Amino acid sequence: MRGAQMVAAATFLNLQAYMLAAVFYVVTVIALQLLSSLIEIRVLAKHRSSD
pLDDT tens column, 15-48: 888 899 999 999 999 999 999 999 999 999 988 8
> Is residue 41 domain-resident?
yes
Q: Is pLDDT of 12 > 90? A: no
> Is residue 10 domain-resident?
no
The three-state secondary structure class of 12 is coil
Using a 10 angstrom Cβ sphere, with 0-12 exposed, 13-18 middle and 19 or more buried, the burial of residue 7 is: middle
Question: Residue 29 belongs to what domain range?
Answer: 25-51
Question: pTM for this structure?
Answer: 0.67
Instruction: Give the pLDDT of residue 51.
Output: 64
Q: How many domains does the chain have?
A: 1
Residue 15: name the closest of 24, 26, 4, 6 by CA: 4
> Is residue 6 domain-resident?
no
> Is residue 50 domain-resident?
yes
